[in-house]
Amino acid sequence: MNQIFFIKHADISSNKLNEICELKSIAWPHSIESQLNWIKSNISDNDIHVILSNENESLAYLNLININCVVDGKLVHGYGIGNVCSREQGLGYGSILMEVINKYLIENKKVGVLFCKSKLVEFYRKFDWCLVSKEKLNLSFNNDNIETMIINLENNFNLLEYSGKSF
């Protein structure tokens, strides 16, 4: 039976962190050490690891990064969704994670922001994520080759500003 685990980064065990790195290495072919270094540099203690597991095997993963955006001059707290990946493609693991995350964001009244390649926009649209036009964005990094999507925020704003790291 599938289970979803939400683990605050400050509370994660080294074994579970290694499992996450192994899973991430399937989607992004980097060494476990490289994956661990990325996590150390980009994940804060209050960020959350979300893992879909079946018995003792991790099937899919993403992380929730605490972020602040400014939307039309107002500070908005939310989560950046990053590193969505699964052990095997086409089995619905990513869909399960996205459905759970959407529910989590709505129940916790948090805005969700994600950055993805153009080819993934349709996948996230299936889960009611909205594409934000580049004209409505002021990001602290180059977004020429990525798309920005949001959930739990009306897309009728004029400007979304984000000055953190890409996740």
Q: What is the pLDDT of residue 158?
A: 97
| Residue pLDDT, tens place only, 13-52 | 999 999 999 989 888 888 889 999 999 999 999 999 999 9
Determine contact, residues 132/155, Cβ cutoff 8 Å.
yes
* Rounded-to-integer distance, Cα 53 and Cα 93, Å: 9
In this prediction the pTM is: 0.92
The burial class, CB within 10 Å (0-12 / 13-18 / 19+), for 62 is: buried
| Residue pLDDT, tens place only, 51-110 | 999 988 899 999 999 999 999 999 999 999 999 999 988 999 999 999 999 999 999 999
